[in-house]
Chains A and B, each alone.
Chain A
Amino acid sequence: MIGFFEILGIWIGVVMTFAIFSFLYKDNPFYKIAEQIFVGLSAGYWFVYTIYNIVLPNLIIPLKTDFSANFLLLIPGILGICMLMRIIPKTEWFSRFPMALMIGSSAGLGMLTYTKSDIIEQLTATMMNPFDGGDWVVILGQTLLILGTITGVIYFFFSARHKGFVGVLSRIGIYFLMVSFGGAFGYTAMARISLLIGRLQFLLGDWLGLIHP
């Protein structure tokens, strides 16, 4: 049997869904109220979640239970406090230290992982014999992959004028890019419709009980 709070939750969900959908007709107070509730609730939720799931288990509890073994955690703790000092204009400059550390370490780590995963591995995956596959569909696919990669990169190569042979390759590159934009648009349309289906499954199923999984 469905409990009172579950029914209440469904009704709140329904009201919020309709309030947000009402924007499709035009901007109105119901939409604004739903939007503000969402923003406030999210901020509150994140604040509490961060305290209980990040700060307490990763910093406060280890320091309280065994300070001598975890005293190094004081360093990120102090850096975290420095970051919070952005709130006061006079002490804002303290936040530069943790910020510098974050940017530096992220750039260093990113340089390695992106070079390997997005350059070396991707290039290696393109270095193949396009005719090694047997099936003509596979051969065509592999040929298009190599052609698309080369012409796409040539389109973004700006150290040579896009004229003559380079111009032709660059134009082919544009066509490949257009096809990829079309594919991306199709996927985007599919994603948005899926979200609408999700909401309708909630309204017609959980709320009205007209459909069953």
Chain B
Amino acid sequence: MSKIRKPLDRRIIFLLVFIGVALPTMIKVGLPIETTENVEMVYDLVENTPEGSPVLFSFDYDPSTKPEIHPQATAVIKHALLKKHKIICMALWPMGVKMCEQIFTTLEEEGITPVYGEDWVNVGYKSGGAISLKALGKDFKKVFTQDTNGTMIDDIPTLQGIRNLQDFQYVMSFSAGVPGIKEWVQVGHDMYKTPVSGGVTAVSAPSIMPYVNEQKQLTGLLGGMKAAAEYEKLIGIPGTATQGMDAQSFAHLIIIILILIGNINYFHNKKVKAQEEAAR
């Protein structure tokens, strides 16, 4: 009988990962969270922006990536509100409008109550991606004529004095794809020189990371739930991302062990095959 080890049933792997995520989600372990340079850059940008500055938050994601990006956006908005920035929310993805509304509803439940129209405003969704962003660079009020409640832009105190992208102290794009943070870099920073930062899913982080460079095309980047947990640590307000970090670490540990077992089996089977062939 051959000594070749058979592959592990994938359902066992799913079960192991499920347990590895479920248990730490219920039982808090409290593994340490270390902050990284990219996250600190985003934090510093918000921290060092003067009080009362108008800032633009672009919600370029939908519920499919909510577990990763929503905690990032929530943490940065909390920070911006603490710094008393005037937040203008918009979306390049239709569902982004709802994501923004959800965040402010959650903040209200937590007792943080910024005044709509004064501390923040939601101008809604705009189709067209990069083309719309170019138009924003020229005239903000031509692209957005009213907010999501139907109030005319000129009647909203938060938007007084805003003419184009250059009037914003920074742009934060929370992005799950196209159009998203890449378009903001191309237009917001590279054309109109407005500092651009934001957060992306962990999958897209490696392709966006090169924009965090000497040219400061991106001022820092939040990649995935881990970065959201780091940001929560920096502002000192733990949230859903911090809650998920124990589970994330345990699941990674299981994946590492499974990769090691897989490699050990691979070399074992290779050796057995060679021995069997030599014996024939």
Contacts and interface: CB of A to CB of B under 8 A. Distances in A.
Q: Do A and B bind each other?
A: yes
B17 A193 contact: yes
Nearest to A184: B206
A190 B25 contact: no
Contacts of A128: 214
A197 to B, nearest CB: 4
B224 A187 contact: yes
A121 B213 CA distance: 9
Interface in A193-213: 193-201, 204, 210-211, 213
Interface residues of B, number: 49
A194 B224 contact: yes
Contacts of A25: 11
Contacts of A114: 186
Given A124-B215, A128-B214, A187-B224, A194 B11 contact: no
A188 B203 contact: yes
Contacts of B67: 194-195, 197-199, 201
Contact of B186 (A117, A125, A196, A198): A117
A196 B186 CA distance: 33
Contact of B22 (A124, A198, A200): A200
The prevalent SS among residues of A at the interface is helix
A64 to B, nearest CB: 15
Most buried by B among A25, A58, A184, A195: A195
> How large, as a class, is the contact surface on chain A?
35 or more
Contact of A197 (B124, B127, B223, B225): B225
A58 B143 CA distance: 10
Contacts of A210: 26
Nearest to B228: A194
B197 interface: no
Contacts of B224: 187, 190-191, 194
B59 interface: no
Given A180-B206, A213-B240, A195 B247 contact: no
Interface in A92-125: 109, 113-114, 116-117, 121-122, 124-125
Given A125-B217, A189-B255, A190-B226, 13 more contacts: A24-B14, A25-B11, A53-B125, A116-B190, A117-B190, A187-B203, A188-B202, A191-B68, A193-B17, A194-B202, A196-B251, A201-B240, A211-B25
7 contacts: A109-B131, A114-B186, A128-B214, A187-B205, A190-B225, A196-B17, A201-B67
For the complex of A and B, the 4 pairs showing the least CB-CB separation, nearest first, are: A198-B67, A125-B213, A191-B202, A194-B225
Interface of A: 24-25, 46, 49, 53-54, 58, 109, 113-114, 116-117, 121-122, 124-125, 128, 180, 183-184, 187-191, 193-201, 204, 210-211, 213
